[in-house]
Structures are given as structure tokens and as C-alpha cells.
Structure 1
Amino acid sequence: MRRVIEASRAEPGCHAYSYAEDVAEPGLFRVMEMWDDREALAAHFQTGHMREWQTRRTELGFYDRDLTLCDLTARADQI
């Protein structure tokens, strides 16, 4: 996971990328990502490190995903 996080943070358009285990539900990991736009996010899923992660995550016990996409048109510091 550390390699995926570091590589993702270095990608163009990535502002934040982190994993956190939920203290109320041990074993549940939440991923938070912030990207410039959907194009940058789409490019992220085509990278080598993400393709490798997609094949290895099941071996590590990551087998289910529930995705939520929030499209923010303005950040708070721009209002």
C-alpha cells in the first residue's frame, strides 16, 4: 500500500491520496483521494502501480469496494 500511495501522490493531478483503517471497524480501510479532474483520475487507473495493486489487493485481503465520487466545483478557499 505504501508504494501505491507514494506513486499515486507523485502523479499529475493528484492533490491527496491516503489509506486509513477505521478504528470503529477494524479491517475496514478507507481511501481518500483528491484529483484535479476525472481525466486525471482515469489516467491514475491506467498506471503500472495501480494495475499491479489491482491484482495484489485480493491476496492482501482487500476484496470488496464501495466507491463514492464527490465532484467539487470550487474549493472552500476559492469561495
Structure 2
Amino acid sequence: MCRRRQVRTVFKRCNHGVTYPDEIVQCYGDNCIFSPNHPPTCTGDICKKRCWHYRPAPQQFTEEKQAYCPNCVKAGYR
């Protein structure tokens, strides 16, 4: 099933965090209505019984980098 992914990066040198826009992770399954492989002929009650019609809660990832955040780099911190 297709889902959203939320990524947040914490920069350890300044301890600032940056949250990036949600990404869509495609599953490419034929039984997910959000997938590019879902057949256009799959409709109605059969589709409702067979296929995923909702996305689960987004996956949340937090990564840490030993660097300054982009704003601090622009301010001259190295």
C-alpha cells in the first residue's frame, strides 16, 4: 500500500531541526487505488472489497547529522 513518509533532520552542531515536506512512497501494487499500477477497470464494489482505499499513518523518520543546519550555514557558521 502506498504511504507517506515524514523526515526530520536534527543538526547536532547547532541543535536545530528541519522537517522536510512529506514524500509519497509508491507500492506499485495492483490492489492499491493510489498506486500507478492500479487498473483503471477496477471500480465499484469489487474494487472496494479487493483494494486498499486509504493510506496508513505516515512513517516518521528522524536522522541526525554532525553539521550545521542550512540557516546556520547561511549565517556563516562552518
TM-score (norm 2): 0.24
| Larger RCO, structures 1/2 (Cα 8 Å, 6+ apart) | 2
Structure richer in helix, relative to its length: 1
Larger Rg: 2
TM-score (norm 1): 0.24
